[in-house]
Copies of this chain bind each other. A is one copy, B any other.
Amino acid sequence: MDAAEFRRRGKEMVDYVADYLENIEKRQVYPDVEPGYLRSLIPEEAPLEAESYEDVVKDIERVIMPGVTHWHSPYFYAYFPTAHSFPAMLADMLCGAIGCIGFSWAASPACTELETVMLDWLGKMLKLPEDFLAGTEGSGGGVIQGTASEATLIALLAARSKIVKLIQTDHPDRSETDIISKLVAYSSDQAHSSVERAGLIGGVRMKKIPTDSKFSVRGAALQKVLEEDRAAGLIPFFFCATLGTTPSCAFDCITELGPICNAEKIWMHIDAAYAGSAFICPEFRPLLNGIEFADSFNFNPHKWLLVNFDCSAMWVKKRSDIIGAFKIEPLYLKHDHQESGNQSHWQIPLGRRFRSLKMWFVFRMYGLKGLQAYIRKHVGLAKEFESLVKADQRFEISADVVLGLVCFRLKGSNELNEILLKRINSARKIHLVPCQLAGKFVLRFAVCARTTESRHVREAWSHISHLASELLQELRH
């Protein structure tokens, strides 16, 4: 395929994409296929001779679409949203065309520099403390990671490296492995599985701090465990606070936790993967109070800020903490502007795409006001769903509705709710996933798609309510 054919095929693909998104409501949100469905639909080997573009394109509807879970359907209420917008898609086309691998300043100066400035823009939208911004002379700054999992891991590894160096300064004879064997990291018992995995990868003990009745870690709970662990000869070094947990969008109390971490020289990382986007609205910014105590902070614009995956924004107060943990520089990566830095020292992969283009397009084409309006609309839809649930005596709300997630259940047994969820998902009209809260099986209703409107939410509720009636009626007989 040459540029001339690409002009034609690219425009056809633009139309296919626009058609797909304009008509996504008509597609069944969750597919009917069974595991292994795809293998039998295509050959066992790659073709020897080139096929035509027509052959490939017609297989999109035959092979791919029947197995797609449509995350951007207004009937998709599972997990958390993944961001999606036209400006981001246009920027990604440009990113693909430039196709640079930004592992150093010299490898593509625009890629390194736009990222630094976009993270400053975003940091200012969130009103992050000045320490977290790069500016022209700051010692902090931001970086785009692939996912929040990577950000948590990077923060944990940087904290591990920092504490080892600190202890070795006073005790030069203590080995790294001896120190690491005593380290202990903490998170909420509601924290995402990736936090536990970061501990596993980093080879350190990871303990879960029990949460209160609002599923929030409080200062006293952390303090208690710290005292026990210090007494047992362990070395607390890292606390991952969550703002907006995955099960119920609960918020750890960082105004209490931060001062404890600072006093105890524990690195506090804040994972606000989903909720972070909301902090651009003044009314939700108080949820981030306490950020001033953190060493690193992360959230995913690729979840709720209209920037397509992957774009996980991470800031640190001291770039040197992170860079020091990873920097290894062979000759083939050295260049004249070595001191200009680059974000590949802040991440696991060395290569990186020009992802900041997506942020630049989205921030400019929505404007801060447009982005705020988008967040507020989703929160409003969640509140609307909450009222519908509350108005139905058979149901209960299982956690405070703060942003775009509603946790709810039928009053009654876990089994009852498991059956209800199974029926909801089997009907294929909408798609939800469950969570476990204080031993209870709970249904999560997350407002996800950019195109979700009040009518979709009401339709979803009436469907759920109808299935619940059927179920309860059957049980009565």
Contact = CB atoms under 8 A, between A and B. Distances in A.
Interface in A57-72: 60, 63-72
A181 to B, nearest CB: 3
A175 interface: yes
A326 B197 contact: yes
Interface string A352-367: 0100010011011111
A354 to B, nearest CB: 9
Given A10-B17, A202-B203, A367-B49, A117 B42 contact: yes
Contacts of A3: 18, 21-22, 86
Nearest to A361: B56
A282 interface: no
Contact of A337 (B35, B49, B84, B302): B35
A367 B47 contact: yes
A194 interface: yes
Contact of A121 (B46, B325, B436): B46
A65 B108 CA distance: 10
A105 B75 CA distance: 19
A131 interface: no
A121 to B, nearest CB: 4
Contacts of A82: 99-101, 351
Interface stretch (A149-157, A252-260, A378-386): A149-157
Contact of A67 (B37, B110, B197, B367): B110
Which of A20, A22, A117 has most B Cβ within 10 Å? Answer: A117
Residue of A111, A192, A331 contacting most chain B CB atoms (<10 Å): A331
A199 to B, nearest CB: 10
- Copies of this chain in its oligomeric complex: 2
A12 to B, nearest CB: 9
Interface in A94-125: 94, 96-101, 105-111, 113-114, 116-117, 120-122, 124-125
A96 B402 CA distance: 29
Interface residues of A, number: 146
Contacts of A124: 44-46
A176 B178 CA distance: 12
A472 interface: no
Contacts of A42: 117
A138 interface: no
Contacts of A72: 99
Interface string A280-294: 000000000000000
Contacts of A302: 351
Contacts of A436: 331
A49 B67 CA distance: 39
Interface of A: 1-7, 9-11, 13-18, 20-22, 31, 33-39, 42, 44-51, 53, 55-56, 60, 63-72, 79, 82, 84-90, 92-94, 96-101, 105-111, 113-114, 116-117, 120-122, 124-125, 136, 146-147, 149-150, 153, 157, 160, 175-178, 180-181, 192-194, 196-197, 200-203, 246-247, 302, 308-310, 325-326, 328-333, 335, 337, 339-340, 348-351, 353, 357, 360-361, 363-370, 433-436, 444
Q: Which 4 A-B pairs have the closest CB atoms?
A: A67-B110, A177-B181, A10-B14, A35-B340
Given A33-B109, A69-B109, 13 more contacts: A10-B93, A17-B96, A20-B98, A45-B121, A51-B364, A68-B110, A82-B100, A99-B309, A101-B309, A147-B351, A192-B330, A202-B203, A247-B330
17 contacts: A1-B365, A7-B14, A10-B17, A16-B94, A17-B97, A35-B337, A39-B113, A39-B116, A48-B368, A50-B369, A79-B332, A84-B99, A99-B309, A101-B309, A180-B203, A181-B181, A203-B203
